Structure 1
Amino acid sequence: MSMRHASFHIKLTTASYKGHSCYFLHFDSMNDQNMLVSAFPSFKWSTHHKLYYVLKKHKPLHVLFSELRRVGCYVDYSEVISKRTPVQAAVKKVLHLPELALKKAKKLDQFERWMLEKRLSKNTITTYIGVTALFLRYLQLKRATEINALWVQRFNHDYVIQQNYSISYQNQCINGIKKYAEFCEVDFVLDSLERPQKPKKLPIVLTKEEVKSILDATHNTKHKTLLALLYSGGLRIGEALTMQVTDVDSKRGLLFVRSAKGRKDRYTLLSTKILILLRHYYKQYQPKTYLFEGRNGMPYSNSSAREALLKSVQRAGITKPGITLHTLRHSFATHLLENGTDIRYIQELLGHKSPKTTMIYTHVSNDCLKNIKNPLDEL
């Protein structure tokens, strides 16, 4: 049964978690949960509530609803709506969009196939389909017959800004519509549309001692090997989960990272310790194709890896907020910098296109900051 034509039932509730307003997802069955969570990286696991959740600021209700409906979900959000007070309801002017016409829905399916052929990532395609569907429904509401810069500006004002959606979501909308215009071979310029800059936040970084305590608290061999590999190679979770057994080059002491972000292959470090751990793991699990396999020989799921990390963090007694699988990659880069590794080599190991991206680690490196003399001490 394909995800696209499956039928799932999800109930949404809302609550505050770690100081953030969230939507919590209640699944009818564990099987439904496992199938869906692997398709939505934005779903996070709450060890306190024992439920998956998504931050409201990252996924407005209509976007979450649209994405879930596209994979065949029946979404019960009555409890979310009932919790809105009259004051809250008055804050936003709700724009009721009509259902997408059949002709436009078929065009949207063609757009999805076109993006697949362009090899855009699954997450990007899902986002672009969601925001473009909203834009097309807005055009139907306004009885507009063409796509142009003026209608994009009006949609941006009437739908995104008036309803106070995030800067990140606003940029996603514009990028998705531009991609759809490219698909439709419609040429227009959006120079007059001001694109707000997203706030630049520094990454969360663990100390070496904290990384060690997390690995020591991970008792499952597969989980320990995966987390250690993410840190020792500075890998993105998607890169680790699609890594094949043959990508481990033990003779050269390197890991081959295939078709990473930007479709670029690269090599990264393979430590002696991780090689010992990998050999022990291989003897126990004997993976066939993918280094970390789940059911039926498919890649291990993102959600299972995320859950394993959160449990280990909890067992290690680390209370630092915002720790994710990507935190291990940030920590790898920061620790290399603190060890004196040239930032150009770190850029290559991480697979960054621009050195500007790698430079962010100079802002979180303790050693770099400690070596700067405070002018007050010289008075």
Structure 2
Amino acid sequence: MLNKHITLKHLYIKEKQCIGLQFNSDKVLQALIKELPNPKWSKEFNMAYIINTKSNLNLIFEKFRGVAWVNCNYFFQDRKLNNNNDTIDVTWFRNRAKKEKFRPCPEEFLQKLELKKYSNSTVKNYVHSFEGFINYYKDRELFSLNENDIRHYLQKLIKEKKSNSYINMAINAIKFYYEMVLGMPNRFYAIERPRKEAKLPKVLSKEEIVSIINHTNNIKHKCIVSLLYSSGLRRNELLNLKLNDVDSKRMVIRVEQAKGNKDRYTVLNKSVLVDLRTYFKLYKPKTYLFENPISKNRYSSSSVLQIVVKAAKNAGIKERVTPHMLRHSFATHLLENGTDIRYIQLLLGHNSTKTTEIYTHVATNSFTEIKDLLS
């Protein structure tokens, strides 16, 4: 087994693409690097580098074969396509009215978003974020911008009191252009990200959930709200459900290509199944479980939000209720009823129980065991 290793990284030095060679001090590796074409040392990045060409890259592998392991995790990118069922539409961005002195998002940026099949919401956020960045440097060539330029832009966002999530989205959009569009993975690996805000999920009581369901306008709306809660579905997962995803014999719902391109099963409530059968007889959906009555395409995301918000308002709930709050409530109520957290993890489609453990901070059963100090 090789005990020496070199990590390849993308660098951009003096307006040239370079291959960074990061390694621990070693005389053998240093000697071999000196044999590469015109190697130089970067004080800024604290590593050796050579010009990025196909022949130079091949030469690196030949030079260190059998001597050191070449780590390419930061150099090559191999991400799976997002195979969700959304119809990606970026024509709106192409057909916008041209603003004077405004630098629009590059066409190749839009094309890559289409090819990678990113969701429409992600496309919208990435384009908006990246256009904010490129218009801050509208007189500069994008290829020439470096880490310090990005830091200056992020400092501007901080001064404008943008949220951590907004700043992280800006970083993601910028990295997407340089890494995915220009083919320079992890070029800006040194950019610092703001700390993730540790916010607890907002949860409704069971009584509030029942009241919201009872204040829906019709059986279709009732089924939508009931499924969001009783099956712990994300809004997009609900909208992507097809008729054959509801398995009444096994009392489960199949969720295909959910977040992270993963399939899973979640529970189907008996009372919800009864309502779904009534709904099916009245509305007769063809493909998707919930369809637009005119176009017969899948139901819109905004319509689901309006249904939940309106039903909650009619139920007398003062705070604004979102579809995702119903999913949070589903997980919390299961935990309060003693359901194993690993089972809840599977139902929600989380990669790790660490993500699911957030609900232990809002479940009330952990607080009821604490003795009342004033009694």
TM-score by length of structure 1 reads 0.69
Match of 1:271 in 2: 269
Seen in structure 2, the aligned counterparts of structure 1 residues 215 and 117 have a Cα distance that, compared at 3 Å, is: same
Match of 1:365 in 2: 363
CA deviation string 1:323-369 (max 9, x = no partner): 11111111111111011100011011001122121111111111122
Match of 2:10 in 1: none
Seen in structure 2, the aligned counterparts of structure 1 residues 75 and 355 have a Cα distance that, compared at 3 Å, is: farther
Q: Tell me, in whole angstroms, the C-alpha distance in 2 between the residues paired with 1:299 and 1:368.
A: 40
Match of 2:298 in 1: 299
Asked whether the 8 Å contact 1:139–1:145 carries over to 2, the reply is: no
Asked whether the 8 Å contact 2:178–2:187 carries over to 1, the reply is: no
Match of 1:335 in 2: 333
Matched, 1:345 2:343: yes
Match of 1:141 in 2: 139
> 1:292 is matched by which residue type in structure 2?
F
| Structure 2 residues not aligned, in runs of 5+ | 1-85
Match of 1:231 in 2: 229
Seen in structure 2, the aligned counterparts of structure 1 residues 75 and 364 have a Cα distance that, compared at 3 Å, is: farther
Match of 1:212 in 2: 210
Q: Tell me, in whole angstroms, the C-alpha distance in 1 between the residues paired with 2:193 and 2:290.
A: 40
Q: For 1:61-140, what aligned pairs fall within 5 Å after superposition? A: 70=93, 98-100=101-103, 105=105, 108-140=106-138
Q: Tell me, in whole angstroms, the C-alpha distance in 2 between the residues paired with 1:334 and 1:257.
A: 20
Seen in structure 2, the aligned counterparts of structure 1 residues 283 and 144 have a Cα distance that, compared at 3 Å, is: closer
TM-score by length of structure 2 reads 0.70
Seen in structure 2, the aligned counterparts of structure 1 residues 115 and 68 have a Cα distance that, compared at 3 Å, is: closer
Matched, 1:312 2:316: no
Asked whether the 8 Å contact 1:231–1:331 carries over to 2, the reply is: yes
The alignment yields a C-alpha RMSD, in angstroms, of 2.8
Q: Tell me, in whole angstroms, the C-alpha distance in 2 between the residues paired with 1:369 and 1:277.
A: 35
Greater helix share, structure number: 1
Asked whether the 8 Å contact 1:68–1:75 carries over to 2, the reply is: no
CA deviation string 1:143-162 (max 9, x = no partner): 665132222222223x3234
Aligned length in residues: 286
Asked whether the 8 Å contact 1:244–1:290 carries over to 2, the reply is: yes
Seen in structure 2, the aligned counterparts of structure 1 residues 285 and 136 have a Cα distance that, compared at 3 Å, is: same
Question: What is the identity percentage for the equivalent residue pairs of Structure 1 and Structure 2?
Answer: 43
* Cα distance, 1:128 vs structure 2: 1.4
Asked whether the 8 Å contact 1:98–1:141 carries over to 2, the reply is: no
For 1:166, which of 142, 163, 168 is the aligned residue? 163
Asked whether the 8 Å contact 2:134–2:142 carries over to 1, the reply is: no
